[in-house]
Structure 1
Amino acid sequence: MASSLIGPLGWGGIFLGFFVIFIFLGFYGARWRRGGDLNQLHEWALAGRRLGTFLAWFLVGADLYTAYTFVAVPSGVFASGALYFYAVPYVATVFALAAVTMPALWRWSRLRNYVTAADFVQERFNSKLLAGFVAATGIVAEFPYIALQIVGMQAVLTVMLLGVVKNVKLVSDIALTISFIILAAFVYTSGSEAPH
């Protein structure tokens, strides 16, 4: 029934259309209502602190509905069983804690012009070494998340491209390359200004 409503375009065409639209919006977002100079760290990383509560709420929601939610957790449950259900209470607990603690940290960080958690730690504990550890931990913790997003895009693009090219290894490599290029270009050119 559903496939008869889609018509000759097919699900792949619809996905590809949305994919192109969102890529365009991501790159266009950095130029729409342009703030400051993206060469400044606070402009690139924090969107000049102009996102506001409403947009930040949507961004946090969008952060939950990523390749982690739709690819990693279900495949982990499929592979290992209930072990991967940790994600449900983990997210609920972390977001509850964040709802309590982050508004105060946000106000303090804005007042003191902090850009990263390491800035806060360095001033609060007067330790460059501890701040360096916090910065390094943040960077290292991002690697699996970024890799997961790229692998998630690769998986979706592989399925979409399999109708065009029959070689699974070639399609997977092409999809991985496309995913990495899009993600790297998007982050480099837009920073956090893209959603703004």
Structure 2
Amino acid sequence: MQREAERKASAEAAREAHRRKTEEDEALKERIAQADRAAAWARERDADARSRAQSQNPANAQTRESSLSSTQTPKIGEVKRATKMLEAAPLYGSDALEPPPPPYIGPRPAGLPENVPLEALTSLDASGVKPDGTYDLHNLPGMPRRKFFRKEYEWAQACLPMIRAIPPDERPLSLKVLFALLRSMPGMK
């Protein structure tokens, strides 16, 4: 009899433990589902905000997308879009005889287009001033060098997103001048 009572008690305890385990599993599944719904809602909200911002200001949409894609970490199984890096334009005449400029050393600047290599940037140690005391807008420190590009339009397209990445009130005078110059070029907005 006592054995029978022990068996019943252990069976009842096992059923109770199984019921508690099932309840815990259900609660865990519900919390995971809530977290998934919250993450999906956040992704949808961010996508809506991005599309709203792009429709309001399409000129900066491409710049924002390139900066977002460069800062986002890749996900498992995600294939990175291939970009062909620009190559330096050939130098002729006296330009070919000049020694190469010192390399840019530092992190990739905000706003730098994905297809522009770091070797296109002017060294941060460069003065940015011509011998006559005027700004050397083609060789400002940390900005793309004009001689690296084949066309002035390509150079302008590389410079504008980098300048736009800096808030207008924080831009030095040299960048304000360069920004005004680039915006005045045909086809640049």
TM-score normalised to structure 1 length: 0.25
- Greater CA radius of gyration, 1 or 2? 2
TM-score normalised to structure 2 length: 0.25
